[in-house]
């Protein structure tokens, strides 16, 4: 569960990135966070990962009150969150298998469990044939599947996907969102940040629109099921 109570973030430069934002995302929800560049989406992600602290208000993620969380407890928090970045952020010196297994090594999981679990998530994202490939040998869509498998392998309560379709072909974007929806169907909370409004309209669901550091829209819409191929619609 993610809860923001009257949260404000002001950077040292004086910029107000978030302004008295309150938000609650329940366990098992799938929410799109939309907004133009500079609206405060990235600040919100940094806040949820405790990369930055709120200037005011309370942030609760998966039961952790981030205002009170000590620095040494941050790894513990992050192990309950899976993160998918627009630029994939895979470790180029590791194979697909190693990139995914690394997350389990961090938590000191037994070798046998790592083998079984990694093979399972690789099959979930359909990359069995690429397990021993290096990220540079993969297409954008495949890299993002690896990133999703990495986010998923630790069975996190929450997956934050930061513009996961931003660097891949439009037709593959829909596959990626379908994959995330499939993961959500198994009970994982998904928070997907995007500015591809057409795609959001296609899938529907809970839409949170941020503008100028404030939530200007938060509601559930019906999906249109129309797939727009050939570009993104940014407003």
Partner 1 sequence: MKISGFKYLVEKGVDNVWKNRMMAFASFCVLLVSLLLVGLSVLVYMNVNSIIGGIEQKNEVIVYLDDDISDDELLDIGAALQKMSNVTEVRFYSKEEAYESLKQSMAEYEVLFESLGDDNPLVDAYRLKVGDIGQISATIAQIRTLDHIYSIRAPYDFVNVLLQLRSILTIVMGALIVAMVIVSMVIIFNTTKTSVYARREEIQIMKYVGATDGFIRIPFFIEGMVTGFFAGIAALIITWLAYDAVVNTLQSQVALLSIIGLGSIISFGSIYVPVMLSYICGGALVGAVGSAISTRKYINV
Judged by the rule CB under 8 A, the positions of this chain that interact with partner 1 are 49, 51, 72, 75-79, 83, 89-91, 93, 102-103, 105-108, 110-111, 150, 154
Q: How far is the CB of 137 from partner 1 (least distance, A)?
A: 16
Cα distances from 105 to residues 78, 124, 154, 188, in angstroms, run 14, 20, 10, 21
* Residue 177 Cβ vs partner 1, minimum distance, rounded to whole Å: 21
Main-chain dihedrals φ then ψ at residue 68, nearest 5 degrees: -105, 0
Integer CA distances (angstroms), 78 to 3, 73, 146, 228, in order: 16, 9, 18, 34
Choice between 188 and 209, CB closer to partner 1: 188
We find the least distance from the C-beta atom of residue 188 to partner 1, in angstroms, to be: 16
Residue 105 Cβ vs partner 1, minimum distance, rounded to whole Å: 6
Report the nearest approach of partner 1 to the CB of residue 61 (Å): 13
Residue 164 vs 209, nearer CB to partner 1: 164
Q: Which is nearer to partner 1, 90 or 215 (CB)?
A: 90
- 189-194, strands of its sheet edge to edge: 81-84, 158-162, 189-194, 30-34, 205-211, 214-221
> Measured from the CB atom, is 19 or 80 closer to partner 1?
80
Q: Whose Cβ is closer to partner 1: residue 90's or residue 122's? A: 90
In 3D space, the residue among 11, 23, 38 whose CA is nearest the CA of residue 195 turns out to be 38
Q: How far is the CB of 45 from partner 1 (least distance, A)?
A: 10
Cβ closer to partner 1: 4 or 103? Answer: 103
Q: How far apart are CA 13 and CA 11, in angstroms?
A: 5
Q: What is the DSSP track for 40-87? A: SHHHHHHHHTTSS--SEEEEEETTEETTT--GGGHHHHHTTEEEE-TT
């Amino acid at each position: 569960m993610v809860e923001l109570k009257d949260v404000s973030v002001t950077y040292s430069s004086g910029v107000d990135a978030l302004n008295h934002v309150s938000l609650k995302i329940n366990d098992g929800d799938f929410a799109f966070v939309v907004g133009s560049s500079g609206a405060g989406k990235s600040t919100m992600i940094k806040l949820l990962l405790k990369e930055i602290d709120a200037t005011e208000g309370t942030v609760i993620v998966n039961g952790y009150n981030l205002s009170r969380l000590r620095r040494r407890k941050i790894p513990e928090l992050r192990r309950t969150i899976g993160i998918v970045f627009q630029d994939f952020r895979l470790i180029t010196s590791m194979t697909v298998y190693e990139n995914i297994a690394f997350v389990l090594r961090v938590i000191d999981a037994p070798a046998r469990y790592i083998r079984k679990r990694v093979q399972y998530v690789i099959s979930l994202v359909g990359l069995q044939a690429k397990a021993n490939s290096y990220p540079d040998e993969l297409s954008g869509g495949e890299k993002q599947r690896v990133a999703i498998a990495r986010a998923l392998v630790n069975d996190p309560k929450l997956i934050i996907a930061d513009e996961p379709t931003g660097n891949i072909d439009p037709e593959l974007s829909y596959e990626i969102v379908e994959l995330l929806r499939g993961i959500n169907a198994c009970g994982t909370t998904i928070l997907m940040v995007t500015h591809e409004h057409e795609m959001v309209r296609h899938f529907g669901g809970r839409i949170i629109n941020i503008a100028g550091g404030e939530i200007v829209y938060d509601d559930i819409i019906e999906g249109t099921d129309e797939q727009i191929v050939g570009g993104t619609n940014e407003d």
